[in-house]
Amino acid sequence: MPLTLRVDAARWRQHLHDTWTDQLVPVAKGNGYGFGRDRLLAEAGDLGARTVAVGIYEEVPAAPDADVVVLSPWRPFLDVPESDRVIHTVSRAEDLRAIPAGSRVVVELQTSMLRHGILADRMPEIASRGTLDRVRFEGWSIHLPMDTGDNVREATELGRAARAVRPGTLWVSHVRTGDLASIGEDVRLRMGTALWLGDRLALDVRATVLDVHPVRRGERVGYRQRRCPADGHLLVVSGGTAHGIGMEAPTAAATVRQRAVTLAKGGLDAAGRALSPYTVGGKQRWFVEPPHMQASMLFLPSSVKAPVVGDEIGVDVRFTTTTFDRVILR
């Protein structure tokens, strides 16, 4: 029985069209934001996208229908597709000298992210040596942090400095479409999350109830034979570690309240209790034990009416880390 993503197709596509401008470069990387990369590339084509972006070279389609920007930087040791539709991101001066002559290239500038990129004060040196003349220069890449309120200023200043060295398109991320005009002319905005996941009400994730067992307080259950905390029901539901259920990234907590919640949650985890993303009777329910590979076990207290086998229950997931068994557009 599957873990299913149901999509209100009309509402979802309305959001795509409402968001779309010719300056957008749709991003289809990783797990395709839960939809799958092939589906997103097809939707991007329907929107009229002439250029799309992927994360790594292995995600470039075998026969691209559009130009494809690879966001991860080119390195000499990588195997890259031999396609004139691929636009490489180059983030180091030595790579700019090493990449095959005639390659289509965007040069990434170092931003406050400090992830990849060439320092702004090295750009005149690169240009003066004619390094940009040996490639097909497609512009400057500016990959910004999640919007901190300073992104427009940073993009504008970096773009101005870069274009003083060599005019070209600015490829930016993590700014709003309404801010593009203030950054300058000929600006392209790479967009993934805000495009594909911007209307969460169009998306409904459901897990199937696979088994329901009455349990008594103290009864041992599961792989690890943990004791039930009270009378109630044990639910076996679809979705496990193979789907990304229960797999967590480091917390992004920034406020005092968020940190307090994280601390409290860590204490519960240490005690062997973990709140699941599954909802029954209007509340998230506790895992009985860590998720299995393709199923999870939940505890439901006796005060809550138990679902029956074959029912579906809601799941709150992180779309960029979840693999669904089925994606249904209706």
Strands in 187-191's sheet, in edge-to-edge order, are: 24-26, 187-191, 170-173, 136-142, 104-109, 86-90, 67-73, 51-54
pTM listed for this prediction? 0.90
- Evaluate if residue 257 carries a pLDDT over 60: no
pLDDT at residue 1 in the model: 66
Name the 3-class secondary structure at 314: strand
- Evaluate if residue 270 carries a pLDDT over 60: no
Domain containing residue 241? 202-329
Question: Which residues are within 8 A (CB) of 239 and not within 5 positions of it... i.e. 6 or more apart?
Answer: 3, 207, 245, 278, 291, 294, 295, 296, 315
Residue range 272-287, pLDDT digits in tens: 579 999 999 999 999 9
State the average pLDDT over residues 181-195: 97
Alpha-carbon gap, residue 226 to 223, rounded angstroms:
8
User: Does 72 fall in a domain?
Assistant: yes
The CATH number of residue 78's host domain is 3.20.20.10
Number of structural domains (the chain) is 2
User: Does 21 fall in a domain?
Assistant: no
User: Does 36 fall in a domain?
Assistant: no
User: Does 41 fall in a domain?
Assistant: no
**Helices (DSSP H) in the chain: which residue ranges?**
9-19, 37-47, 93-98, 123-128, 151-165, 180-183, 193-196, 256-270
Select from 181, 198, 215 the last residue of a domain: 198
Higher pLDDT, 52 or 267: 52
Does one domain contain both 217 and 163?
Answer: no
Task: Place 271 in a pLDDT band, splitting at 50, 70 and 90.
Answer: very low
User: Does 117 fall in a domain?
Assistant: yes
Q: State the amino acid at position 151 in one-letter form.
A: N
Residue range 205-231, pLDDT digits in tens: 999 999 999 999 999 999 999 999 999
Task: Place 126 in a pLDDT band, splitting at 50, 70 and 90.
Answer: confident
Structure tokens at 273: 């209790």
pLDDT at residue 114 in the model: 94
Closest CA to 206 of 243, 234, 242, 232: 243
Task: Place 269 in a pLDDT band, splitting at 50, 70 and 90.
Answer: very low
pLDDT at residue 127 in the model: 79
- Evaluate if residue 264 carries a pLDDT over 70: no
pLDDT at residue 125 in the model: 82
The CATH number of residue 251's host domain is 2.40.37.10
- Evaluate if residue 252 carries a pLDDT over 60: no
Alpha-carbon gap, residue 143 to 171, rounded angstroms:
8
State the average pLDDT over residues 138-158: 94
Contact (Cβ atoms closer than 8 angstroms) between residue 5 and residue 203: yes
Does one domain contain both 211 and 323?
Answer: yes
pLDDT at residue 249 in the model: 59
Neighbours of 246 (CB within 10 A): 16
Alpha-carbon gap, residue 329 to 4, rounded angstroms:
11
Residue range 61-105, pLDDT digits in tens: 999 999 999 999 999 999 999 999 999 999 999 999 999 999 999
Q: What is the mean pLDDT of the chain?
A: 92
